[in-house]
């Protein structure tokens, strides 16, 4: 226990910890001491704004569920030619963007399956159309796996794909497709997906070209504790070279309607421990976001005391994770209340984590609007005009 205290004290004082030390903290440190150390590090990093916790209003538009990758944890995809497969026309994507703008969204996450029918031209046309129609929206979209897929369908290098997507309007990449970057477990859950090394290569290439991204981790599919820490190490090493990861977002595997069938899961305590260790380990990544979608509001709120500075978003639409069983929902007023009741000051942010509106007191809160709430699984099996995504 003496070694644990020494490591915790050094980490809390701002010292870099090794992967071996991170594993020791993850498996042996007392939970509350671990959380306190992570909170100390968070407060030091944010200084005068440490009492603020941020949130975002965005929409995750899934443009197709057709996918050739067949990840075992995914309940969303359909194989090519499947009767339940669909791809939204550009008109529908733009309609959803317009609806998001009306409700105050500042960001769109355009993500979908790896359809063999969609080449680089489809993405260029889509991004260009969104940028022209809604220039106020940040396009924080796709991810490393989509870049790999587009490079295959279009016969382009990663660099060519990234340059063309960026020129068409893509602002930054989401951390999608990371799942777990350690090859042993990645092969178990996604044998047809690119390796962890290739995913990291795509992100490093994007960062070098000036296109930043986030980093994620799906925990609970059967990986070992050591593999969880190794995933963090792989991300930190790239960040040391590029500085291009804006935030780290861990989330938990959901067990419904997929081939893994929940044989292994991560508990809320495992998640909070990982969150705290991530705050101590990532001395080079500014922001840490907690996953309310997969763990619920209570754990999300607790995460603000275990190193997280961001409570995620009011997702006006989400389909992929909710298809696998995530049912947690909230509206804007609830999100603000969760932050304030955690003894933090709520602030709406943009994609770059700039504060757009700080709600210093309840008098600064936005006027309640029942339409601004998380909305899950709204595109499957297909959209219907007589069932609007939000109330009119």
Comparing 72-81, 90-99, 287-296, 361-370, the range with the smallest average pLDDT is 72-81
Mean pLDDT for all residues in the chain: 88
Please give the pLDDT value at position 377: 45
Q: Is residue 6 part of a domain?
A: no
Q: Is residue 390 part of a domain?
A: no
Q: Is the pLDDT of residue 156 over 60?
A: yes
Which residues is 318 bridged to in the sheet?
Answer: 376
Long-range contacts of 99-102 (CB under 8 A, 24+ apart): 99/59, 99/316, 99/389, 99/390, 100/58, 100/59, 100/137, 100/316, 100/317, 101/134, 101/136, 101/137
Q: Is residue 34 part of a domain?
A: no
Q: Is residue 20 part of a domain?
A: no
For 298, which DSSP code? H
Q: Is residue 232 part of a domain?
A: yes
Domain that holds residue 81: 51-364
Q: What are phi and psi of 349, to 5 degrees?
A: -115, 170
Q: Is residue 328 part of a domain?
A: yes
Q: Is the pLDDT of residue 2 over 70?
A: no
| CA dist 250 → 49, 180, 209, 214 (Å) | 23, 10, 25, 11
Q: Is the pLDDT of residue 47 over 70?
A: yes
Q: Which helix (H) or strand (E) holds 111?
A: strand 107-111
Which residues is 110 bridged to in the sheet?
Answer: 61
Cα of first residue to Cα of last residue in the chain, in angstroms, is: 58
Question: How many domains does the chain divide into?
Answer: 1
Q: Is residue 17 part of a domain?
A: no
Percent of the chain exceeding pLDDT 90 equals 70
- Cis preceding-peptide flag for 178 (omega within 30 of 0): no
Percent of the chain exceeding pLDDT 70 equals 86
Q: pTM of the prediction?
A: 0.89
CATH of the domain at 305: 3.20.20.70
Comparing 190-204, 230-244, 255-269, the range with the smallest average pLDDT is 255-269
């Amino acid at each position: 226990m003496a070694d644990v205290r020494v490591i915790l004290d050094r980490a809390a004082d701002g010292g870099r910890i090794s992967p071996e030390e991170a594993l020791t903290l993850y498996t042996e440190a007392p939970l509350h001491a671990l959380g306190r150390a992570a909170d100390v590090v968070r407060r030091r990093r944010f200084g005068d704004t440490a009492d603020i916790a941020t949130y975002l209003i965005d929409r995750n538009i899934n443009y197709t569920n057709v996918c050739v990758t067949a990840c075992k944890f995914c309940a969303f995809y359909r194989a090519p030619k499947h009767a339940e497969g669909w791809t939204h026309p550009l008109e529908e994507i733009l309609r959803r963007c317009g609806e998001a703008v009306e409700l105050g969204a500042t960001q769109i996450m355009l993500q979908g399956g790896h359809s063999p029918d969609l080449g680089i031209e489809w993405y260029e046309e889509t991004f260009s159309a969104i940028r022209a129609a809604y220039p106020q929206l940040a396009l924080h979209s796709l991810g490393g796996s989509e870049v790999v897929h587009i490079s295959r369908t279009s016969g382009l290098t990663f660099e060519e794909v990234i340059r063309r997507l960026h020129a068409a309007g893509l602002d930054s990449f989401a951390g999608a497709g990371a799942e777990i970057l350690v090859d042993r477990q990645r092969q178990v859950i996604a044998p047809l997906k690119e390796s962890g090394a290739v995913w990291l290569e795509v992100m490093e290439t994007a960062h070098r070209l000036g296109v930043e991204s986030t980093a994620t981790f799906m925990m609970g599919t059967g990986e070992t504790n050591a593999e969880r820490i190794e995933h963090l190490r792989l991300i930190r090493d790239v960040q040391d070279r590029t500085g291009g990861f804006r935030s780290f977002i861990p989330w938990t595997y959901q067990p419904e309607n997929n081939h893994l069938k929940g044989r292994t899961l991560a508990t809320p305590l495992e998640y909070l421990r990982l969150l705290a260790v991530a705050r101590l380990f990532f001395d080079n990544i500014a922001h840490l976001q907690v996953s309310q979608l997969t763990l619920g509001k209570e754990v999300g709120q607790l995460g603000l005391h275990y190193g997280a500075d961001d409570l995620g978003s009011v997702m006006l639409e989400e389909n992929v994770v909710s298809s696998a069983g995530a049912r947690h929902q909230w509206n804007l007023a609830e999100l603000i209340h969760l932050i304030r009741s955690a003894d933090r000051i709520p602030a709406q942010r943009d994609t770059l984590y700039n504060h757009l509106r700080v709600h210093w007191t309840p008098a600064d809160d936005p006027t309640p609007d029942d339409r601004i709430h998380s909305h899950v699984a709204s595109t499957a099996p297909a959209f219907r005009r007589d069932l609007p995504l939000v109330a009119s």
